[in-house]
Amino acid sequence: MKSRVRELREACGWSQAQLGERLDVSRQTINAIETGKYDPSLPLAFRIAREFGEPIESIFLFEDVP
Amino acid sequence: MEASSARRPLRIVALLLLAAAVALRLSVPSAPAWTSGLILLSAAAIAAVSLSRRATACDGAPRALRRRYTRELLVGMAAYVVVLAGSLVLLRHVEPPALRAMVALLPVAPIALVLRAMVRFIRGVDELQQRIELEAVCIAAACVSLGYMTAGFLQGARVIDVPASAAMLWVFPLVCGSYGVAKAVVARRYR
């Protein structure tokens, strides 16, 4: 799943490790979410949305595969 | 620095296994040579993993959690080495079957501690790491089961002749070893 996590994180001036610390996950998890290799669980997605103050659907972009 | 200190526990486990192999050889000279040979082989494999750069590259667990896991793992392994050596020595002097069973089962307790440490570690990591760990455990369990069954067919056909006690004892170490390898492979997908 594509996401705007990297863009939003960089706009806040945080490193992957700093965002990971805020969300209580590892830097590797943030990296995997940003590169689209891992889709976060719903609770983590909500925490990310709350951290950036944006609605969840504007951060995670669902692509329907036909 | 951090990667080096994170690899230290593996080196200690390798040393403990080396000590177990030597203890087995010295305390039970009648034990078949392949038993201590296999322990030595696993010690060498763990030492090789500890020297590889990739050993900890996939581990995103917090430092405090890794430290607790290391401590619990080392306590379990050290207790295992001591209890196993004691149990093997005692078994030479104990005759009644019920007592022999009790003495023979003594090393199960420290191994249960090691398992508890593994479960506590997996429960403590974040969701991606948990996924990696669980996927690795599944792959390891599947591979070892497949290997065990394959060997069972060969043994049934009398192509090979592996002592049953050795085969049963090596299931858990083999699962642990394949778990480590599977974890490195699975983690690559999320890098």
Query: What torsion, rounded to 10 degrees, do the Cα atoms A17, A19, A25, A30 define?
Result: -80
Q: How confident is the model at residue B7 (pLDDT cuts 50, 70, 90)?
A: low
Q: Is A3 helix (H, G, I), strand (E, B) or coil?
A: strand
A5-62 pLDDT tens trace: 999 999 999 999 999 999 999 999 999 999 999 999 999 999 999 999 999 999 998 8
Give the Cβ contact number of residue B92 at 10 Å.
Answer: 9
Domain of residue A11 covers 2-61
Mean pLDDT of chain B: 85
Count of structural domains, chain A: 1
Q: Which residue has the higher pLDDT, B189 or B7?
A: B189
Return the pLDDT at A65. 62
Q: Tell me the nearest-neighbour CA distance from A6 into chain B, angstroms.
A: 15
B33-73 pLDDT tens trace: 766 777 777 777 777 766 665 544 446 678 889 899 999 99
Rg over alpha carbons for chain B, rounded to the nearest Å, is 18
pLDDT > 50? residue B23: yes
Place of tokens 């390798």: B14
Averaged over B8-27, what is the pLDDT? Answer: 76
In a domain, A27, yes or no: yes
Return the pLDDT at B133. 94
Q: How confident is the model at residue B2 (pLDDT cuts 50, 70, 90)?
A: very low
Q: Tell me the nearest-neighbour CA distance from B124 into chain A, angstroms.
A: 11
> What percent of chain B has a predicted confidence (pLDDT) above 90?
51
Contact residues, B window 19-48, toward A, CB-based 8 Å cutoff = none
Least confident of A59-63, B131-135, B143-147: A59-63
pLDDT > 90? residue B22: no
CATH code of A29's domain: 1.10.260.40
Q: Which residue has the higher pLDDT, B161 or B166?
A: B161
In a domain, A57, yes or no: yes
Q: Which residue has the higher pLDDT, B63 or B137?
A: B137
ipTM above 0.85, yes or no: yes
CB contact A58 to B (< 8 Å): no
pLDDT > 80? residue B30: no
Q: Which residue has the higher pLDDT, B43 or B132?
A: B132
In a domain, A66, yes or no: no
Write the DSSP string, B126-177.
Answer: -HHHHHHHHHHHHHHHHHHHHHHHHHHHHHHTTS----HHHHHHTHHHHHHH
Return the pLDDT at B3. 47
In a domain, A25, yes or no: yes
Torsion sign over Cα B157, B158, B163, B166: negative
Return the pLDDT at A36. 93
Give me the amino acid identity at A13. Answer: G
B84: which 2 tokens? 């196993």
In a domain, A38, yes or no: yes
A33: nearest CA partner in chain B: B190
Beta carbons of A25 and B190 less than 8 Å apart = no
